[in-house]
Amino acid sequence: MMSVKFRTIKGVQDILPPKTYLWQRVEDAARRIFSLFGFSEIRTPIMEFTELFIRSIGEDTDIVEKEMYTFQDRAGRSITLRPEGTASVVRAYIQNNLYNLPAPQKFYYCGPMFRYERPQKGRYRQFHQIGVEAFSIDDPYLEAELIEMLWLLLEHLGIEDLNTEVNSIGCTQCRPLYKENLLEYLKGNMDSLCSDCKRRYQHNPLRVFDCKVDTCKGIISSAPKITEFLCNTCKEHFSRFLSSLRKLDIPYSINPSMVRGLDYYTRTVFEVTTTALGAQNAVAAGGRYDTLVEEFGGPKTPAAGFAIGMERLITLLEEKTDTEPPQPDVYIVSLGTDATDRAYTIASTLRREGLWTELSYGMGSLKSQLRRADRFRAKLALIIGEDELKRGTLTCKRLTDGFQGEIKLTDVVSDIKRFLNHDQDT
């Protein structure tokens, strides 16, 4: 009896073929589309000093309060597995003086993120994001362009039923006034707020919008809206952003209670949601963060970005396409030691010619080898036995239509290509 000795820890998962082909499709499409907009890849470490995330995401956010994977390294430093990408990219931007590059500086990243959350469909402890960050652009067209890029990707992948929700959460000028009004309103409802929201009231009142408790949600839905308190500059920014979206034909709705779960945002925030995922319906989210670079010790630099949740995107894709793994070109069936040895050199030649070749290693009968060739969904089976070897020939069988013929060992490459190409013609 086998007994499984090790399993993954809770909330993380193996990603296996053929699903990995779907992941690659998404990553390839993202790289291609992002590069059309001038984004280059940046790779930052998956661990950073804990302080980096506390200072950017914010002390009173769900992420920092309860979701970070934080540990002490052997020298007693506090290290955290990154829960999101923006903080690291901003750190790298400053540390490597990337602001000296010609503006705007545009980056994308792709990789695992870690949050200690309650695992459920669409919510994992290790998950993956593809994200982008663009620096040095004040113009609200930037946010519209980012959303356009995101839409282009999702459209290219064939994902439908998407909504873009947008909001403005103001700036350091107008947000204090809004906070006062919000506090005033919350004060009147203090008794009904949950204990988390009571604490939020003290430390970071905007975070009440993250609350999942029903009674709080009810209270908060009638709270004053930040959009009513925007200063003129923020108002102008928001309206130009919206008109850019309209010019780009991107449908959106304004959600005045969306504040996003991270503290670094200024002005524009947005979320792309779908009706197809149930409770975990946010596929991508982002916004502008005009003060973070400076707060981290860099030059005053406006910036904006977004991140896509890969697992949720993949789920959407899985629901609409079956992923067929790619097919080998050739499966070599060999019978006997000499024939099998010859199969190895043929495989080597074919692979150098760019043909995906699988070997049977001479294992099993002709029938079972051919069955394996079918299970691999190989386009051709190449059959080599002792007799064929003596004659200097091979049998080539096209598995798609059963067409079969004898080919000379000396012509193997050109003949196989002919068999394969014919397959494409029909």
Binding site for ligand ATP (CB under 6 A): 84, 115, 117, 122-124, 127, 129, 261, 280, 282-285, 307, 309, 311-312
Measured from the CB atom, the residue of 119 and 188 that comes closer to ligand ATP is 119
Token digits for 105?
């500086």
CB of 231 to ligand ATP, least distance (A): 26
Complex with ligand ATP: residue 84 or 133, whichever CB lies closer:
84
Tokens of 76: 């007693």
Q: What is the dihedral of CA 215, 221, 225, 227, to 10 degrees?
A: 130
Q: Closest CB to ligand ATP among 63 and 293? A: 63
Please state whether the peptide bond connecting residue 224 to the residue before it is cis, i.e. omega within 30 degrees of 0. Answer: no
The residue nearest ligand ATP at its CB is 309
Q: How far apart are CA 57 and CA 304, in angstroms?
A: 15
Distance CA 26, CA 387 (A): 48
Q: How far apart are CA 227 and CA 347, in angstroms?
A: 66
Closest approach of ligand ATP to the CB of residue 275, in Å: 15
Q: Which is nearer to ligand ATP, 69 or 356 (CB)?
A: 69
Q: Considering beta carbons, is residue 276 or 282 the nearer one to ligand ATP?
A: 282
Q: Which is nearer to ligand ATP, 109 or 124 (CB)?
A: 124
Considering the complex, state which of residue 284 and residue 380 has its C-beta at the smaller distance from ligand ATP: 284
Nearest distance, CB of residue 161 and ligand ATP, angstroms? 15
Judged by CB, which is closer to ligand ATP: 122, or 336? 122
Strand order in the sheet with 282-288: 40-41, 105-114, 126-135, 303-309, 282-288, 266-274, 162-168, 253-254
| Residue 1: C-alpha distances to residues 4, 6 (Å) | 10, 16
Least distance CB 280 / ligand ATP (angstroms): 5
In this structure, the chain runs to a length of 426
Least distance in Å: CB of 39 to ligand ATP? 17
> Please, which residues have CB within 8 angstroms of residue 253's CB and are 6 or more apart in sequence?
163, 164, 165, 166
Residue 60 CB, nearest distance to ligand ATP (Å)? 15
Minimum distance, C-beta of residue 175 to ligand ATP, in the bound complex (Å):
19
Q: What are the phi and psi torsion angles at 248 (to 5°)?
A: -85, 5
DSSP 229: G
Q: How far is the CB of 147 from ligand ATP (least distance, A)?
A: 14
Question: Angle, to 10 degrees, between the axis of helix 141-156 and the axis of helix 232-247?
Answer: 30
